[in-house]
Amino acid sequence: MKKLGKQTFHMKDNVFIRDVYTIVGSKEGEGPLKNNFDMIIEDSLWGEDSWEKSELKFQKTAAEKLLNKNHMQSKIDLLISGDLLNQITSSSFSARDLQIPYIGVYGACSTMALTMGLGAMLIDGGFANNILCVTSSHFCSAERQYRLPLEMGGQRHMSAQWTVTGSGAVLLSNIGTGPTIKNVTFGKIEDLGIKDANNMGAAMAPAAYSSLKQHIIDTGIDYDLIVTGDLGTVGKGIVNKMFNEDKMSIEKKYDDCGTIIYDLEKQDVHAGGSGCGCSAVVFGAFLYKKLLKKEIKNLLFTSTGALHSPTATLQGESIPGIAHCIGIEG
Amino acid sequence: MKKLGKQTFHMKDNVFIRDVYTIVGSKEGEGPLKNNFDMIIEDSLWGEDSWEKSELKFQKTAAEKLLNKNHMQSKIDLLISGDLLNQITSSSFSARDLQIPYIGVYGACSTMALTMGLGAMLIDGGFANNILCVTSSHFCSAERQYRLPLEMGGQRHMSAQWTVTGSGAVLLSNIGTGPTIKNVTFGKIEDLGIKDANNMGAAMAPAAYSSLKQHIIDTGIDYDLIVTGDLGTVGKGIVNKMFNEDKMSIEKKYDDCGTIIYDLEKQDVHAGGSGCGCSAVVFGAFLYKKLLKKEIKNLLFTSTGALHSPTATLQGESIPGIAHCIGIEG
């Protein structure tokens, strides 16, 4: 069986990350990665009449631009996508227009790694030549679905994170050049009882620690760079503390997409970025390019999800966390 | 590549449907399949303090009973599950308690076939020995999330379907005996513009027709029985009409889980059953047993999903439909 250790799946053949495409909103376009994105959209509605329709346009455009750029419009075997909205509407409506056989997934902010992991395994399993993995999030659609009406103008908690407006699309292929996905660890749910929707970093950190540790033990690989999805400053600190207590410190080579995407001093985002789009666009615009330029030779990319349900929270439940790891070679 | 025709994935090795487990509510337990279910729960709350928590208990219990019965508690490589609730909470919270690496999917009522298709491909791809596929739905939690408060006691449309309260769990394995999954077709989204949440059958029928036709063309297999997920009387009629117009009539060997699960004359369910649980429990309690008893030698099992979003509907959008086909040999 193509499995390493307890929980990690190993790709026998090459699964190339053939190309990526990223689109972000204005706030992300003013951050430290502003010169790295493929498109920056100033208008949060992007000409649509709702934020949900705008998010759909982000996702659909990222997918279409990536396919057009690579002349792959009719060559995709499967589309795997998901997002934060109820019934993953950005993904479903985007899939309607793309007309590609479609697998919808839900993993909250862990979605980018979830789609890439599944896609890699279906290609390595011999079922597909080309798979398109996409995700998106939008500050305005997420905020009103998960927290409070934006019009209220409520003050934000210091532990709160800022949902990234953006979409990332990743093209996986069994031919090509470039970085390859080698090992995939799908996480178990970890839940230490966090009930505060303004502290997602703390809800996700134990899951990140658990999946990262299992992946490192299963593969024995010494990664140049380990990056989590969107734990922000609070969650990143907890992960470092948990590894330090384990005497397995990863601090020197560890970073988090939620702290990379914004200028935390100047952009008033409190604990950092979050949302499915966060790890998607930081991967596409920044980490993928580091691999291409051979600045790093391997990367452990881990998207982290807080499976927060407003209904479950009202019924007294806590917020379960999950993290999926993708081991990539440059 | 392990692909037949345009859109169908072929399993090279045997992927056995090793065992199934079904739990349903009282209404389903009074229907034509009452002697076939593993458990019938009379109390819609099952001792919990909300319908959502009750649904979670259905799903978790179905999974646990199936694992215990087969002594497989510690032998499952992956759990693939999804449901109708926002953030698929029944699945996520169930996965938290099961502590199995978890892939969450969203396909509305197409979920059972979606999880089985993915599971079969990951086993055939050499990544797993045993995968657990689970889904659930609950009349009360679905009705209040997608339509109106139950307390309102509104009159139901004649085209409306009754969401099945129930959960089905399916154990896939690369060793064993019994029926095997041979071919999987993931559907494209079809959307002919239906905007009425009380007519899901019509919203899903074009997707069912499209995926079924593609699967039949791709495989060339003459199935003994073709069953769709939960189109009910309205959608089933449309599918028959579409195939008849194509001069490919399937009428004599075609049925729909939504019309099988209830006594449509006596149980006041109007157009029939629906919900992720519908095709899941009809498959587990009825179709799977037909294969085991060799009453049929092969089955084309197709779960159908209406990717209905109340938010998108309020914004003027229609309801996209999807259908995933699983070709099974007895």
Here the CATH number for the domain that contains residue A243 is: 3.40.47.40
Contacts of A317 in chain B (CB under 8 A): 89, 93
**pLDDT score for B154:** 85
Beta bridge partners of B226: B254, B300
Tell me the percentage of chain B whose pLDDT exceeds 70.
100
Q: B111 and B208 share a domain?
A: no
Retrieve residue A2's tokens.
């193509």
**pLDDT score for B16:** 98
Which residues 254-273 in chain B show a CB within 8 A of chain A? none
Answer whether B122 sits within 8 Å of A121, measured CB to CB. Answer: yes
- Looking at per-residue pLDDT, the higher value among B189 and B155 belongs to B189
Q: Which of A104, A139, A173 is the last residue of a domain?
A: A173
Q: B164 and B195 share a domain?
A: no
**Residue for token pair 């993290």:** A323
Chain B nearest-CA distance from A9, in A, is 6
Rounded mean pLDDT of A166-195?
Answer: 96
Strands A166-173 and A16-25: antiparallel
Q: B155 and B244 share a domain?
A: no
Answer whether A309 sits within 8 Å of B108, measured CB to CB. Answer: no
Rounded mean pLDDT of A264-283?
Answer: 96
Q: Beta-carbon neighbour count of residue A249 at 10 Å? A: 12
Give which of A54, A57, A87 to mutate to test B binding, by max B Cβ within 10 Å. A87
Q: A50 and A133 share a domain?
A: yes
Q: B221 and B137 share a domain?
A: no
Q: Is residue B202 part of a domain?
A: yes
Q: What is the largest CA-CA distance in chain B?
A: 54
Whether the per-residue pLDDT at A154 is higher than 90: the answer is no
Q: Mind listing the pLDDT tens digit for each residue in A289-326?
A: 999 999 999 999 999 999 999 999 999 999 999 999 99
Q: Rounded distance, CA A24 to CA A31, Å?
A: 11
Q: B223 and B131 share a domain?
A: no
Rounded mean pLDDT of A117-135?
Answer: 98
Answer whether B87 sits within 8 Å of A309, measured CB to CB. Answer: yes
Average pLDDT, chain B: 97
ipTM over 0.90: yes
B195 touches chain A (CB under 8 A): no
Q: Is residue B6 part of a domain?
A: no
Q: Which of B124, B149, B173 is the last residue of a domain?
A: B173
Q: In sequence order, what DSSP letters do the residues of A35-67 get, joined into one string?
A: TT-SEEE-STTTTSSSHHHHHHHHHHHHHHHHH
Q: Rounded distance, CA A40 to CA A24, Å?
A: 5
Contacts of B125 in chain A (CB under 8 A): 2, 121-122, 124-127
Q: Mind listing the pLDDT tens digit for each residue in B94-149?
A: 999 999 999 999 999 999 999 999 999 999 999 999 999 999 999 999 999 998 89
Q: A266 and A197 share a domain?
A: yes
Q: B167 and B186 share a domain?
A: no
Structural contact between residues B104 and B30, judged by C-beta atoms closer than 8 angstroms? no
Tell me the percentage of chain A whose pLDDT exceeds 90.
94
**pLDDT score for A197:** 84
What end-to-end distance do the CA atoms of chain A give, in Å?
25
Answer whether B77 sits within 8 Å of A312, measured CB to CB. Answer: no
Residue ranges making up the domain that contains A23: 3-173
Residue B2 is given by DSSP the state -
Q: Mind listing the pLDDT tens digit for each residue in A228-266?
A: 999 999 999 999 999 999 999 999 999 999 999 999 999
Q: Mind listing the pLDDT tens digit for each residue in A1-25?
A: 999 999 999 999 999 999 999 999 9
Q: B38 and B87 share a domain?
A: yes
**Residue for token pair 């789009």:** A277
Q: Is residue B70 part of a domain?
A: yes
Residue B198: pLDDT band (50, 70, 90) is confident
Retrieve residue B284's tokens.
């587990």
Q: B301 and B231 share a domain?
A: yes
Q: Is residue B1 part of a domain?
A: no
Q: Rounded distance, CA A241 to CA A249, Å?
A: 8
Whether the per-residue pLDDT at A156 is higher than 90: the answer is no
Q: Is residue B162 part of a domain?
A: yes
Tell me the percentage of chain A whose pLDDT exceeds 70.
100
Q: A40 and A82 share a domain?
A: yes
Residue B14: pLDDT band (50, 70, 90) is very high
Residue A134: pLDDT band (50, 70, 90) is very high
Q: B227 and B166 share a domain?
A: no
Q: Which of A150, A173, A196 is the last residue of a domain?
A: A173
Answer whether B105 sits within 8 Å of A105, measured CB to CB. Answer: yes
Retrieve residue B288's tokens.
């799977």
By CA distance, what is B101's nearest residue in A? Answer: A188
Residue A153: pLDDT band (50, 70, 90) is confident
Number of domains in chain B: 2
